[in-house]
Chain A
Amino acid sequence: MNMILRMSGCRVLLGMLVVLAVFSSFAHAVTPDEVLQDPALEMRARTISQLLRCVVCQNQSIDDSNAPLAHDLRVIVRERLVSGDTDKQAIDFIVHRYGNFVLLNPPMQLDTLALWGGPALFLLIAAIGFGRYLRRRSTEQATETPAALTTIEQERIAELLIRRNST
């Protein structure tokens, strides 16, 4: 009984692996007829495709997208590489037509300054605010020594202590 159970467990695991293998090949949209013969070129094409935004779905790279236009752009990138373009030239070919919009990693330039500098600016503001808060707290603590107890308070403490000791 135990043996059978373990066998079926094995099969489930095997089945899951098969399913995983099948689906992981669908994780990118490159179809077999696009793939270049030269594995080095194909690697470069894949890397470039992952940097380029699909202009139809806009939140996927052309490497992930099943849109027909993404397919066309993947083929164009491969054609450029085969014809001897550098990675940058191939990317520029697409950017020349669709603009910086297609770059999933936008370049640092004047109109993207807020995008790149914004987080640093917020961090700076937060750091200044926190610094001011800390400094104020420490000066408050240094200057303010607690006031001495009044006679009424001292009497009350004595009274409480006596009561506690007596019980």
Chain B
Amino acid sequence: MGRVVSLTPVLLFILLAFGLGFSLTNDPSKMPSLLIDKAVPAFALASLDEDGRGFPSADLRGKVSLLNVFASWCPGCRAEHPMLMRLAEKGRLSIYGINWKDSSRAGERWLKANQSPYARVGFDENGRVGIDLGVTGVPETFVIDRSGRVRYRHAGPLTEDVWHEIFEPLLARLQDGSS
């Protein structure tokens, strides 16, 4: 009994060390998306180029796709843009865009100046569709599977590292149709 009591501080220390160690690997500012494995919330956005057809959420069904939320005022979006362009050129999956909390003129000008990697671009002026998606900032990228469900959400610019570590294996699995 006495031995157990004298070991208590050591045991508490080990417990605390593990707890703190776990916290180090755990970024508290990262907010997990609530949409994982859930259907994309229905939306019907006007398209940015005003071609009249708009961008309904039904467009996301039937194929594996990326849904990228961006804005012309967002430096991170500029940073990830070349990455999206390379993906679009490979043409292995469709990339959809949502122009979030922007002005349509600024958004259009931005896409003209930088080229568009998007199959369609919805214009979410008041940000409500973004809020339905749980967007906390731009850029954010969602992986959508064939049935129109969200399978992954990445907050922040897409980088090569993120792409190789997370997106590529996930997309390969989804495109195989195994899950």
Measured between beta carbons, the chain A residues less than 8 angstroms from B101 are 68-69, 72
A56 adjacent to B126 (CB under 8 Å):
no
A56 adjacent to B136 (CB under 8 Å):
yes
Q: How far is the CB of A61 from chain B (nearest CB, A)?
A: 15
If over half of B's interface residues share one DSSP class (helix, strand or loop), that class is named, otherwise mixed; here it is loop
CB-based nearest B residue for A67: B137
B131 adjacent to A72 (CB under 8 Å):
yes
Report 10 cross-chain contacts, Cβ distance below 8 Å, ordered by A residue. Answer: A56-B137, A69-B101, A72-B131, A76-B128, A96-B34, A97-B132, A97-B133, A97-B134, A98-B34, A99-B31
- Give the docked Cα–Cα distance between A70 and B52 (Å): 31
B1-23 contact mask (Cβ, 8 Å, vs A): 1 or 0: 00001000000100000000000
Interface residues in A114-166 by Cβ distance below 8 A to B read 125, 132
B127 adjacent to A58 (CB under 8 Å):
no
- Give the docked Cα–Cα distance between A72 and B32 (Å): 20
A98 adjacent to B134 (CB under 8 Å):
yes
Interface bracket on B: 10 to 19
Q: How far is the CB of A40 from chain B (nearest CB, A)?
A: 26
Residues of A at under 8 Å CB distance from B?
Answer: 55-56, 58, 68-69, 72-73, 76, 96-99, 101, 125, 132
Q: How far is the CB of B114 from chain A (nearest CB, A)?
A: 23
Q: Given that A55-B31, A68-B101 are known contacts, is A98 also in contact with B127, CB under 8 Å in the complex?
A: no
- Give the docked Cα–Cα distance between A96 and B132 (Å): 9
B34 adjacent to A99 (CB under 8 Å):
yes
- Give the docked Cα–Cα distance between A99 and B36 (Å): 12
Measured between beta carbons, the chain B residues less than 8 angstroms from A72 are 101, 126-128, 131
17 further A-B contacts with Cβ under 8 Å, apart from A72-B128, A97-B132, A101-B32, are A55-B136, A56-B137, A68-B101, A68-B127, A69-B131, A69-B137, A72-B126, A72-B127, A72-B131, A76-B128, A97-B133, A97-B134, A98-B134, A99-B31, A99-B32, A99-B34, A99-B134
* B178 interfacial contact with A, CB 8 Å: no
- Give the docked Cα–Cα distance between A59 and B137 (Å): 16
Q: How far is the CB of B86 from chain A (nearest CB, A)?
A: 29
